[in-house]
């Protein structure tokens, strides 16, 4: 395939005919498996591992298909295909997840092969979005665009995607395995809450080096990952990760699914013993077989289209003038944009969390509109965030006001990114057979309660994360305010944690007290926020006030008598 960047899709790796042939063969294979299941030639137990390796879950009411969006990068053509699938095979919407994927919650088994073929036609798939394997590698939603970026992590995320896909040793690990990679000094990928978290920076001769964190994760036993190795050279990246996963595959527990994650193994062995085992495995490997030569890395990089960043000299002045004359636009710019490495451009975060909305849910019409906006304003490139929003990475500053007007007209102009209305939530008991409680209604009630944009901006940075069960798909332990659905004698209750963070100041939220019914939970959080507004010092964010004062002041507010 030509590596002329003018012909390549901007922002994502360009498939060639080998990739496309592989996907078509995979679809044909699964089509035969589905036919055998429908005919009764395969039992559900026999079919389950086959469907899981193709991203198909059997949920509470229907099948759910999880579509891979590698490191969160989409093209407008791919988004339009997702919209078509939502209209044709689902109930007119899809759901963005905290792993930068999309889920369709109302899929019929017999339609799945046709859906997978349509995905393959636009270079997409659902391989390894489930099962005990290495899942979608995630990275910073501003990768390749951010002003503070030290290097673009998408290239190495793609290398790890290719290494891990259908890896013959790692298709049936003790449990699922998640990797995230950051190329920025500001952790925007929750690196230390992953099985492996990589923080990349330039090393000698400009080639990257990596700090490798291992054993992080949330769920039943939340753990912050530990630094296993620093300054890992680029050439050894694949070999060292292979050594880590080999040790996990050999020593990870398979007798108890609740103790099967690598975080439990690292704790059980101790980090020093675990490091010794990884180093021993690493020393035995034929490193030449795994070596990432600069030519290989540069070859992968050449398969990514590069946007032609050309903006008028007065683009920033045009934006500044629009902000001075339109207060609503100015507020949205403050909350929903991110500095770009090019002076004339800016990155835009489209909130898909309107007041009273369902976090992460996007209708087919909204998907089509986002695709159109990407074509018109951002080189056809779209990014999905692990915060369940959407990013247009390269928007000219002089055209930003026009884009905002389009978003407002479509109901996608909510100015709440990073604020209390930017709630993360899993689908919960409305869809998931594992959940103890519904996440969606409480998210909607909280969003409506704090809908006033002036109030949200006054409150400032505050992350609310909601999970419907202890598996923590909503990352509640990492929220400044975390909400966990629990079952108490057949009724839905919610347990609050405070003080979590997934950023550089990583922390696990602590339980503040007994679980509360849904409506009491919403009122309790409102009292908690009121207490913060009284107790904070000037300019102090919620997490800093909490850390300064501790839990006692907030506990009194949460459990104040009605």
CATH code of the domain in which 355 resides: 3.90.480.20
pLDDT at residue 77, rounded to an integer: 98
Q: Does 429 map to a domain?
A: yes
pLDDT at residue 2, rounded to an integer: 36
| The two structure tokens encoding residue 193 | 């809450």
Burial of 270 (0-12, 13-18, 19+ CB in 10 A): exposed
Of 487, 431, 441, 502, nearest to 466 by C-alpha is 441
- The residue segments making up the domain with residue 430 are 424-559
If asked whether residues 333 and 369 sit together in one domain, one would say yes
If asked whether residues 241 and 281 sit together in one domain, one would say yes
pLDDT at residue 3, rounded to an integer: 42
Distance CA 228, CA 442 (A): 39
State which of 344, 377, 410 marks the end of a domain.
410
Q: Does 508 map to a domain?
A: yes
pLDDT at residue 60, rounded to an integer: 87
If asked whether residues 150 and 275 sit together in one domain, one would say yes
| The two structure tokens encoding residue 20 | 């496309």
State which of 96, 122, 148 marks the end of a domain.
122
If asked whether residues 273 and 173 sit together in one domain, one would say yes
Beta-strand runs (E) in 421-507: 424-425, 464-467, 481-488, 491-498
pLDDT at residue 7, rounded to an integer: 83
Of 211, 137, 123, nearest to 176 by C-alpha is 137
Distance CA 308, CA 10 (A): 10
Using the Cα atoms of residue 115, residue 64, residue 362 and residue 20 in order, give the sign of their dihedral.
negative
Residues 237/156, Cβ–Cβ less than 8 Å? yes
Q: Does 71 map to a domain?
A: yes
Residues 480/471, Cβ–Cβ less than 8 Å? no
Instruction: Quick: pLDDT tens for 269-297.
Output: 999 999 999 999 999 999 999 999 999 99
**Measured between alpha carbons, how far is residue 342 from residues 311, 374, 381 in Å?**
9, 18, 17
Q: Does 212 map to a domain?
A: yes
State which of 73, 97, 122 marks the end of a domain.
122
Ranges of residues in the chain with a pLDDT under 50 are 1-4
Spatial CB neighbours of 278, under 8 Å, sequence gap ≥ 6: 228, 240, 243, 244, 247
pLDDT at residue 97, rounded to an integer: 95
**Measured between alpha carbons, how far is residue 457 from residues 13, 115, 319, 425, 553 in Å?**
38, 42, 21, 21, 23
Q: Does 158 map to a domain?
A: yes
pLDDT at residue 1, rounded to an integer: 32
If asked whether residues 161 and 260 sit together in one domain, one would say yes
**Measured between alpha carbons, how far is residue 549 from residues 137, 498, 507, 544, 553 in Å?**
37, 12, 16, 9, 7
If asked whether residues 168 and 291 sit together in one domain, one would say yes
Backbone angles phi, psi at 431, to 5 degrees: -130, -40
Q: Does 246 map to a domain?
A: yes
Element counts in the chain: helices (H) and strands (E): 19, 21
Q: Does 308 map to a domain?
A: no
Instruction: Quick: pLDDT tens for 421-462.
Output: 999 999 999 999 899 999 999 999 999 999 999 999 999 999
| The two structure tokens encoding residue 220 | 């039943």
CATH code of the domain in which 243 resides: 3.30.413.10
CA angle in degrees (0–180, nearest 5) for 434-438-440 = 125
If asked whether residues 110 and 186 sit together in one domain, one would say no
If asked whether residues 242 and 147 sit together in one domain, one would say yes
Spatial CB neighbours of 405, under 8 Å, sequence gap ≥ 6: none
Count CB neighbours of 512 within 10 A.
21
**Measured between alpha carbons, how far is residue 266 from residues 108, 252, 273 in Å?**
40, 9, 8
If asked whether residues 163 and 227 sit together in one domain, one would say yes
Distance CA 11, CA 384 (A): 12
The tally of domains found in the chain comes to 4
If asked whether residues 286 and 356 sit together in one domain, one would say no
Q: Does 2 map to a domain?
A: no
If asked whether residues 160 and 216 sit together in one domain, one would say yes
If asked whether residues 109 and 141 sit together in one domain, one would say no
pLDDT at residue 241, rounded to an integer: 98
């Amino acid at each position: 395939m030509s590596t002329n960047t003018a012909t390549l899709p901007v922002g994502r790796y360009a498939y060639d005919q080998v990739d496309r042939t592989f996907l078509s063969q995979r679809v044909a294979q699964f089509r035969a498996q589905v036919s055998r299941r429908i005919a009764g030639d395969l039992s559900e137990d026999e079919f389950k591992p086959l469907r899981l390796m193709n991203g198909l879950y059997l949920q509470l009411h229907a099948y759910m298909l999880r579509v891979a969006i590698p490191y969160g990068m989409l093209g407008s053509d791919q988004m339009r295909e997702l919209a078509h699938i939502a209209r044709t095979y689902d109930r007119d919407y899809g759901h963005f997840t905290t792993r930068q994927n999309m889920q369709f919650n109302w899929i019929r088994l017999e339609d799945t092969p046709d859906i997978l073929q349509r995905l393959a036609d636009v270079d997409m798939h659902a391989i390894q979005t489930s099962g005990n394997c290495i899942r979608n590698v995630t990275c910073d939603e501003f990768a390749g665009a951010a002003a503070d970026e030290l290097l673009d992590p998408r290239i190495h995320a793609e290398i790890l995607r290719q290494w891990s896909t259908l890896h013959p040793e790692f298709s049936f690990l003790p449990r699922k395995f998640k990797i995230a990679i950051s190329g920025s000094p500001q952790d925007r990928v929750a690196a230390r809450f992953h099985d492996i978290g990589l923080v990349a920076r330039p090393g000698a001769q400009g080639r990257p080096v990596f700090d490798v964190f291992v054993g992080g994760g949330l769920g039943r036993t939340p753990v912050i990952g530990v630094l296993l190795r620093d300054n890992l050279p680029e050439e050894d990246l694949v070999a060292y990760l292979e050594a880590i996963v080999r040790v996990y595959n050999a020593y990870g527990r398979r007798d108890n699914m609740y103790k099967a994650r690598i975080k439990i193994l690292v704790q059980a062995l101790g980090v020093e013993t675990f490091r010794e085992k990884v180093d021993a495995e690493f020393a035995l490997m034929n490193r030449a077989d795994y070596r990432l030569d600069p030519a290989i890395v540069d070859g992968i990089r050449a398969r990514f289209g590069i946007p032609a960043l050309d903006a008028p000299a007065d683009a920033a002045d045009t934006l500044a003038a629009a902000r001075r004359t339109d207060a609503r636009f100015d507020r949205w710019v403050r909350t929903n944009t991110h500095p770009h490495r090019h002076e004339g451009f800016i990155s835009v975060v489209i909130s898909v969390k309107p007041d009273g909305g369902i976090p992460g849910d996007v209708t087919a019409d909204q998907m089509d509109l986002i695709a159109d906006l990407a074509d018109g304003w951002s080189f056809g490139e779209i990014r999905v965030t692990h915060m369940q929003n959407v990013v247009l990475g390269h928007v000219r500053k002089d055209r930003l006001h026009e884009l905002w007007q389009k978003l407002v007209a479509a109901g996608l102009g909510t100015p709440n990114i990073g604020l209390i209305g930017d709630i993360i939530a899993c689908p919960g008991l409305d869809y998931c057979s594992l959940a103890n409680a519904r996440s969606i209604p409480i998210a909607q009630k909280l969003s409506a309660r704090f809908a006033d944009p002036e109030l949200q901006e006054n409150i400032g940075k505050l992350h609310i994360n909601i999970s419907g069960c202890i598996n923590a798909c909503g990352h509640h332990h990492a929220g400044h305010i975390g909400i966990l659905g629990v079952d108490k004698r057949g009724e839905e209750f919610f347990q609050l944690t405070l003080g979590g963070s997934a950023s550089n100041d990583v922390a696990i939220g602590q339980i503040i007290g007994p679980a509360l019914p849904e409506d009491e939970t919403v009122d309790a959080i409102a009292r908690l926020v009121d207490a913060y507004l009284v107790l904070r010092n000037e300019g102090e964010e919620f997490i800093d006030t909490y850390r300064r004062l501790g839990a006692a002041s907030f506990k009194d507010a949460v459990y104040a008598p009605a």
